[in-house]
Amino acid sequence: MSTSITLNPKLDFAIERFVDAPTRVVWEALTKPEHIKEWYMPKVWGRVARAELDLRPGGIISIDIAVGDGPEIPNVGCVLEVVPMQRLIWTSMLFPDYRPAVFDDIPITAIMTMKAEGTGTRYVFTALHRSEEDLKTNNESGFYQGTEIAVDQFVAHVLAMK
């Protein structure tokens, strides 16, 4: 799969951070369910009830979240690409094994890249949307803000791991 993506600000957003930790630690925090549960959902909003990740193309990414004291909400997608310690791509537009997804939420394709930089790692989370309307709806729902919080929690979690 070619992952040379040109971001379109009308459709996409990217959040970039320098993480003062080795790439292997960043990768572990990104791909191990016990770590995903610690950073994926902004803690001020809720919690991750369950996380599952099968690191292979066609594998499952499943993260159940609970907002406040509300019910657990399943979020299921399909892993598209795995390049250990470099890139993970998944989409909510497909279920595992590339089965077409049916859902009520705004679908995204998420690209997470990392590259060693000095003694740390340059980490970039990119969200691709189908349309300008989808991006607008996600931004109005707090998706971008929540993703920024989650990325900050991710960095803090990685630093606590090293």
**Residue 17 above 90 pLDDT?**
yes
**Residue 3 above 70 pLDDT?**
no
Which tokens sit at 125? 């989370």
- 103 closest CA partner among 94, 112, 111: 94
pLDDT band at 5 (very low <50, low <70, confident <90, very high): confident
Who has greater pLDDT, 130 or 5? Answer: 130
Tens digit of each residue's pLDDT (9 = 90 or more) over 53-66:
999 999 999 999 99
Which tokens sit at 91? 């989409």
Which pLDDT value is given to residue 106?
A: 86
Task: State mean pLDDT over 123-141.
Answer: 95
Mean pLDDT of the chain: 94
Residues whose CB is less than 8 angstroms from the CB of residue 84 and which lie 6 or more positions away in sequence, other chains included? 27
With a pLDDT cut of 90, the percent of the chain lying above it is: 88
**Residue 126 above 80 pLDDT?**
yes
> 15-161: which CATH number, 3.30.1330.10, 3.30.530.20, 3.60.20.10, 3.30.750.24?
3.30.530.20
Strands in 59-108 per DSSP E? 60-67, 72-73, 76-83, 87-91, 94-95, 99-100
Tens digit of each residue's pLDDT (9 = 90 or more) over 77-87:
999 999 999 99
With a pLDDT cut of 70, the percent of the chain lying above it is: 97
Residues whose CB is less than 8 angstroms from the CB of residue 107 and which lie 6 or more positions away in sequence, other chains included? 91, 92, 93, 101, 129, 130, 134
**Residue 104 above 90 pLDDT?**
no
